Amino acid sequence: MSDEQKITIDGKDYTLSEMSQEAREQLQNVQVTDQEIQRRQMQIAIAQTARANYAQALKNALEGTGDVASEL
C-alpha cells in the first residue's frame, strides 16, 4: 500500500508528489478558501442566532415583558 498523498478532483485521483508546483499552489489556494468559507459560515450562524435573540428581546420589549432570560 502506498503512503503517497492523493486527492480526488472531479472524480479523478491525483498524487500530490506528481502534481506540478503550480497545481499544488492552486490546491492550497482552494483549501485556504474553503477554510475561509467555513469560517464565515460559522460567523453567519452566530450572527443569525444573535439576531433571533435580539428580535425576541424586541418583541418582549414591545409587549412590555422585558424578560429575555426566560426565552433563552
Q: Does residue 69 surpass a pLDDT of 80?
A: no
Segments making up each domain of the chain, as ranges: 22-71
If DSSP codes are grouped into helix, strand and coil, which group holds residue 62?
helix
* 20 sits in which H/E element: none
Taking only the tens place, the pLDDT of each residue in 1-25 is 567 899 999 999 999 999 999 999 9
C-alpha cell recorded at residue 31:
483549501
Taking only the tens place, the pLDDT of each residue in 23-48 is 999 999 999 999 999 999 999 999 99
- Distance CA(30)–CA(53), nearest Å, equals 35
